[in-house]
């Protein structure tokens, strides 16, 4: 009985602490959400609407959450590194937007975009109109 309880506790602890990576379909959904949030954020910046910038910055940061583990799960460490840099810049973006810091927003957008660009150039292959696949 003690062995069964111990085994059950170990299994529960494993599942409670495990981080489950996204699958490819979930990654695509997150990337589309990130792209939309980025476009909306840039429009809000042009309109000088910091409350909207903050809303879209939060959407962008949420879209980037959890993506690093996808790349680590595929042992694509350069992509994981770029993802981590982009996610960190997105957090900075949220802080700047919430504080009404337009220059901080511009700087953070550049850092997010730079991380995205590096990864896309290395690991995204166009296979159709608005359709991509991961290249190893």
* Domain definitions of the chain by residue range: 22-134
Architecture of the domain delimited by 22-134? Up-down Bundle (1.20)
The C-alpha atoms of residue 28 and residue 25 are separated, in whole angstroms, by: 5
**pLDDT in single tens digits along all 136 residues of the chain:** 655 444 454 444 444 334 557 899 999 999 999 999 999 999 999 999 999 999 999 999 999 999 999 999 999 999 999 999 999 999 999 999 999 999 999 999 999 999 999 999 999 999 999 888 898 8
pLDDT of residue 10: 46
Q: How far apart, in whole angstroms, are the C-alpha atoms of residue 6 and residue 125?
A: 48
Q: How far apart are CA 29 and CA 14, in angstroms?
A: 27
Q: Cα dihedral sign for 24, 25, 28, 30?
A: negative
Burial of 11 (0-12, 13-18, 19+ CB in 10 A): exposed
């Amino acid at each position: 009985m003690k062995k069964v309880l111990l085994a059950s506790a170990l299994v529960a602890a494993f599942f409670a602490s495990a981080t489950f990576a996204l699958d490819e379909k979930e990654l695509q959904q997150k990337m589309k959400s990130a792209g939309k949030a980025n476009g909306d954020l840039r429009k809000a910046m042009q309109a000088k609407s910091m409350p909207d910038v903050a809303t879209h910055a939060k959407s962008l940061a949420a879209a980037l959450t959890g993506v690093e583990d996808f790349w680590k799960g595929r042992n694509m460490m350069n992509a994981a590194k770029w993802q981590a840099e982009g996610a960190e810049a997105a957090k900075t973006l949220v802080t700047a937007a919430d504080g009404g810091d337009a220059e901080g927003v511009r700087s953070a957008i550049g850092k997010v975009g730079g991380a995205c660009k590096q990864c896309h150039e290395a690991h995204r292959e166009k296979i159709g109109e608005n359709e991509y696949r991961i290249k190893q």
